[in-house]
Amino acid sequence: MFDAVPAGGDAYVLKYILHNWDDDHCVTLLTKCREAMNPGGRILVADAVVPPAEKPDWGKLLDIQMMVVVPGKERTKAEFAALFKRAGFRLTRIIPTRCPLSVVEGVAASA
């Protein structure tokens, strides 16, 4: 996945993938998705989005686990936006779900 992803998709869904990796690896993977997708395609990332408030949150507990077990972490909206920008995407919206995950949506920055 760091070398290539299947070409020609209208949407690329990454569920519990980016949180396993550091920022540089995430940018590489997101860039490969952007290069492979059809014009007008979208990236959909299903991960926890850590809220900025100083309150308990499941994503914050998972963040600690990710930092201990793998080189990844959970991210805030701003951190996702920064990753997307580095990979040539623009964060369009974050869609909450009934579970602790949200869907972070992005489109190619030129779109």
Query: Do the beta carbons of residue 83 and residue 27 sit within 8 Å?
Result: yes
Catalytic residue among 12, 14, 18, 19: 19
Measured N-to-C along each axis, helices 77-86 and 23-36 cross at an angle, to the nearest 10 degrees, of 60
Q: How buried is 2 (Cβ within 10 angstroms: 0-12 exposed, 13-18 middle, 19+ buried)? A: exposed
Does the annotation mark 25 as catalytic? Answer: no
* Catalytic machinery residues: 19
